Structure 1
Amino acid sequence: MWRIILFSIAFFITSSASSEQLFITTEEYPPYNTRGTDGQPRGVYMDQLKIIFARAKVDYDATVTPWARAIALAESKPMHCVVAAARTPEREAQFKWVSPVHTDRNVLVGLRERNLKIKNLDEAKDYLIGTQRNDYTQSVLKSLGFTHIDLSADFDKTLSKLAAGRIDLMPMSESALRKLPGASFQEVVVLTNQSLGMACNRSVPDELISRMQVTLDALIADGTQRKIYEKYGLVIRQ
């Protein structure tokens, strides 16, 4: 009998611990996310998350995948989170949030050689805009009345289309633009200001979300988050 009880207790403890394992999905979006030689995500976001998970004592597994799949997993699979997702009103109730891991301007970018003269977003609606399928910018563009939208699986494919002249403009963060060759690409017009965070499936326990949020708040307060951005030559807006 005692063996059965002890086995049950051990099983309960093991199950409770494993139930707090998070499955993190993200996309290839340098310098915020890049795929290391081991296939694991690296960059600004994961540097923050590794500290959060270590301090909050959270076990995790992280993978890089196209954005549409990354956010779909967080929406549908228990204990899955996606980073970094824009915290928009439309998404607020779909996920539980740990944020902000990133606050930045999102701008429409074009080829410098074309030197597009666009004064505002209304004028930009006449051009073909490329973005990633299920990225928040797709919803933003539609909500602003853009109708000429070309969708790709990920950031790199959209950027390749822009470089090849297959699309006219694409949205990206201001900091991501700074990492691109200045002779090739330029900001054309501001699209939006946006806060991004880790968006987790509704199954993730509130206590775990709270623990991670408290840790992130501490990283912001003590300047750790800012130092991570500076390490990559980036500036974070707060």
Structure 2
Amino acid sequence: MYLRQIVFILLMLCAFLTQAGAVKVIATPEYPFTFINEQGQIDGFAVALAQQIQKRIPGQDVPVDSYPWARLIKVLSEEPDVVGLAVARTPEREENFYWITPVARSIHGLYALKQNHVLLEDMSQVKNIGPIGVLRGDFRETILRQAGATELVLYNNWQQVVEALLKGRVNAIFTSSSGIHYLCPPTRFECKAVENIYIYKVVTTYIAMSKNGTDISTVEQWREAAAQFKHDRQFVLMSKRWVEQYRRDKNMQLYLDNGAINIWPDPHQPISKNTNSP
């Protein structure tokens, strides 16, 4: 009886230690890599990638919670043991988080309606084009402020940002090519008038982990598990399934490259004649 009690206590202790390092995994629903599916669950390539990493770490198989973007960044910045999905890695954020593994690369820039005749040769001119729509708390808000923009209109989600442009509430918006393609597809009449007026740069989104109070051993566990999965054929198969789904459902041009998805046409593949470019 005494031996059984000792074994039971040891098992409970092991279970506690295993769960003690469990993290909180959060994401903002923003197509294409994190979104709410028809079943009302958070889904997408970044979610699937995180779940596969979690399976390779004892005690880390926790659900992904949906957070508004401003709250996600706040929690990721302030709380320990938090994993954020699809967070853009920028110079301003470089030292704020631990960067686990890349998710995707996309082209970011400013978009306007053709009829507005907005011209932009460099970022220093953003202060001259009037109100600009951007997501509240997003890294692009910081970039615009640093460039001297003063007429910023902040929104809580990207759908609001795009609609503001279409309805003439702002003269331009700062977003990504993937966001424009999804939220304002060329098949929608009003969206045919949207054009890119300035390419900022290619930005890579990552699975990121909070720095404040997070033990480095937890970070290394996630990095090692991510590296192991990405060297497994299962990662390639999973990525290809998602790429095909995005192409089929949204006619997106994207491809897997060096462990992440590039959101632009594959230079090694011919572009379909039926493809509508944003």
Aligned ranges 1:56-95 → 2 under 5 Å: 56=57, 58-95=60-97
Amino acid at match of 1:118: L
Deviation string, structure 1 residues 177-225 (Cα, Å, up to 9, x no partner): 2222224132221122211101112215133222233135426997457
Alignment match, 1:181: 185
- In the superposition, relative to structure 1, how do residues 123 and 102 fare at CA in structure 2: closer, same or farther (>3 Å)? same
- In the superposition, relative to structure 1, how do residues 86 and 63 fare at CA in structure 2: closer, same or farther (>3 Å)? same
Structure 2's unaligned 5+ residue stretches are 248-252, 255-260, 264-278
| Deviation larger for 124-133 or 3-12 | 3-12
**Shift, 1:16, TM fit:** 2.4
- In the superposition, relative to structure 1, how do residues 190 and 224 fare at CA in structure 2: closer, same or farther (>3 Å)? farther
Q: Percent identity?
A: 21
Amino acid at match of 1:211: E
Alignment match, 1:199: 208
- In the superposition, relative to structure 1, how do residues 66 and 12 fare at CA in structure 2: closer, same or farther (>3 Å)? same
Alignment match, 2:33: 32
The answer to whether the Cα contact below 8 Å between 1:22 and 1:61 also exists between their aligned partners in 2 is no
State the TM-score, normalized to the length of structure 2: 0.74
Is 1:159 equivalent to 2:162 in the alignment? yes
Alignment match, 1:212: 225
> Aligned partners of 1:129 and 1:5: how far apart in 2?
65
Structure 1's unaligned 5+ residue stretches are none
> Aligned partners of 1:221 and 1:100: how far apart in 2?
17
Amino acid at match of 1:83: L
Amino acid at match of 1:125: K
> Aligned partners of 2:145 and 2:233: how far apart in 1?
33
State the TM-score, normalized to the length of structure 1: 0.85
Q: Which SS does the other structure have where 2:92 is aligned?
A: helix
1:237 to 248, 251, 262: 262
> Aligned partners of 1:93 and 1:123: how far apart in 2?
29
The answer to whether the Cα contact below 8 Å between 1:219 and 1:225 also exists between their aligned partners in 2 is no
Is 1:118 equivalent to 2:120 in the alignment? yes
Deviation string, structure 1 residues 127-157 (Cα, Å, up to 9, x no partner): 2221122211112222223222221222222
Amino acid at match of 1:130: G
Q: Which SS does the other structure have where 2:205 is aligned?
A: strand
The answer to whether the Cα contact below 8 Å between 1:98 and 1:209 also exists between their aligned partners in 2 is yes
Higher CA-based Rg = 2
> Aligned partners of 1:144 and 1:220: how far apart in 2?
43
Number of residues paired by the alignment?
A: 238
> Aligned partners of 1:147 and 1:178: how far apart in 2?
27
> Aligned partners of 1:214 and 1:98: how far apart in 2?
9
- In the superposition, relative to structure 1, how do residues 142 and 111 fare at CA in structure 2: closer, same or farther (>3 Å)? same
Amino acid at match of 2:181: R
The answer to whether the Cα contact below 8 Å between 2:106 and 2:203 also exists between their aligned partners in 1 is yes
- In the superposition, relative to structure 1, how do residues 216 and 97 fare at CA in structure 2: closer, same or farther (>3 Å)? farther
- In the superposition, relative to structure 1, how do residues 90 and 2 fare at CA in structure 2: closer, same or farther (>3 Å)? farther
2:142 to 139, 145, 155: 139
Alignment match, 1:19: 20
